[in-house]
Structure 1
């Protein structure tokens, strides 16, 4: 039973609840395996749930839900130049590398405006193939209309992180315009940015903006429930 303390009934089982092993935080007991070894429910730093045994945790064999091994494998591929996507010489690949650099490498030009402000790249996009799967089709469409050199990645919420729901392709002129002036919405006699609306009214930025675009009033878009 999840969350039950096994130590009260079985003194041989040492409770692991609340302990941290690598990226895994133990949150509850999950019973035993076929070898009668205690199993534990763990929450990984990436958000995934993972069940593993006491031995796997205490021996260091389980340090994450599997995301750590995937990241290490991706890093090894990059270091050994075993690139299989054949995109390393493209502008699209350069956009991805620049995005990672300005958010994570303090010596990179522009870091203070991105990583220095707490802007991050979602964990999924640390693997180039994932970024390519999410963003490359629309990149090609935009480049066909405006040209590759005039195709730049843009965040809908300028204070938000880089992830699929918060990114789009824009021309350089449109992106500069977005940076100069953030659109404001009148709610309760206050002018708020979409990011402020999201924080104060606990609503997704994309959901709010799409409601406004469909003709909802700013107050209705911010306050009305999804099912309303």
Structure 2
């Protein structure tokens, strides 16, 4: 292009001219512009080297791939890698995951055999923000159907893991959750939720913290925690928790505590007499 045709803000090919500068070319001082490429790279180009297909020099610009404005070179690479892996596990019998995809009849639709179409879908689905495959992945809505625009969505890895066929679903207060979701929501260990479920617990019993240090009851007019009652009356914590759960009436709970103490005293006296 002629120097007179160049100015900051002009877009030429993949480049946006930022500011005027100079370059030494073959010993001559040439008018040049600092430019920003669509992929995000900053380069300096002489005015005479600018042409309708000008770019930063990255090889992927020369390929016949769709490259949306704003998608960086690194972002394009991530999308390409995702597409390649999907295609491989659906169609390559030598792929380590083929038995879970292609062998099960999971296919890549004809539309997505063209990389450009997949890139367009991914770019729009991600709201123009390409994250690492570690955090953003393509998920099939129906796990028994193939990869296509109508059956796929972008999810984070946490959302993706909650959508596995092997996940166990539990119901708490009318809400259906996986073990992991329940553990995160109610701040409890996942293994604890799983163990309780396998041992017959359901609903709130799956996520109840059983925190004896935070459960307060009244004994003889004094407010005490279950832990304090356990130490004062020599009653197992698990027994107290069971009573607290099933004896909603305060007086009934208090009676159970006193009766337990009396029973322990009687048993102790009998042991002394026998000895």
Higher CA-based Rg: 2
TM-score, normalised with respect to structure 1 = 0.39
TM-score, normalised with respect to structure 2 = 0.33
